[in-house]
Amino acid sequence: MKYRRLGNSGLEVSAMGLGTNSFGKRADESTSIRIMEEALDSGINFIDTANIYAGTKSERIIGQALVGKRQRVVLATKAGLVRGEGPNQRGSSRYHLQQELEGSLKRLNTDYIDLYQIHTFDPNTPLEETLRTLDDMVRAGKVRYIGASNYAAWELMKALGLSELKGLNRFVSLQVSYSLADRTPEQEMVPLCLDQGVGIIPYFPLAGGILSGKYSLSDKVPADSRADKDPSFNRFINERTLTLADQVNQLAVEYGYTASGLSLAWLMDQPVVSTAIVGATRQEQLRENLRSLEIELNPELIEKLDHLSRTSRYSEPFATYRLS
């Protein structure tokens, strides 16, 4: 396994992390635990979840799987998206974040979170309130590092500047949709993160599985796929993304790789990427994804991938999650 620093922090994370959005949903408890065990045995040390994944089931399953193994992982979770109907059941207020942190600690069966991330920017809470709350969590020993997710470039830069001004702990990472099918972060976010020492943690590294080649323009959706379990995902399946997936697959075959492996290798080759969180619903899927770490990209192949995916740099973002 290859390891990299998380942004400019001293924390080392595996180049490939394990995303657990499917735990308790598309992967049942026993399957999820087996995936976790195999991921740890392979050298993956970065485990990413959130308080809303599978209605808190993801965190609970991870908490069970990590009994006796907590010291082996860099555990990341998130808060800030909608948790309920009440007025304080969302956002990045001190009230909500403190409440959600305590809930996550109990479900994860731990007394600290390695990377606590704000799931999305909250326009209704003063940014200083959010940052001071996170700083208090770090000083209390309940959180070790803090990160952001789904922030716009100006929002992230404002947060970094305010942290510097007030002497607060600053974000070391940013989660954002980033893949061959979504290179929009390269317009503003990538230069900003390189300049400010913030590590990018891509989610949807395979565009939700589209870049694996499992989808087609036909109406038939593969059984047990993300689109099968979550019909709203079908909005991402269109002619542009499917055409790109087909082109990447053809190129992968030409070089003796899989489309998934080539797509992940390209992403992890980006200097700004600290770790790419890749989900799995089966152990076999995890093993296949791990093979991408063995791929060495030469300049010619990089140029071909850049050419095929260039339009995705100027298209609409593949995904982003915001508070309404």
| Residues labelled catalytic | 53
* Cα distances (Å, whole numbers) of residue 7 to 85, 86, 105, 145, 181: 35, 35, 24, 11, 24
Q: Are the C-beta atoms of 48 and 20 separated by less than 8 Å?
A: yes
Using DSSP's 3-state secondary structure scheme, residue 92 falls into: coil
- Tokens (6 digits) for 93: 């207020």
What is residue 89's three-state secondary structure? coil
How many other CB atoms sit within 10 Å of the CB of residue 236? 20
DSSP 6: S
Q: What angle do CA 320, 290, 32 make, to 5 degrees?
A: 70
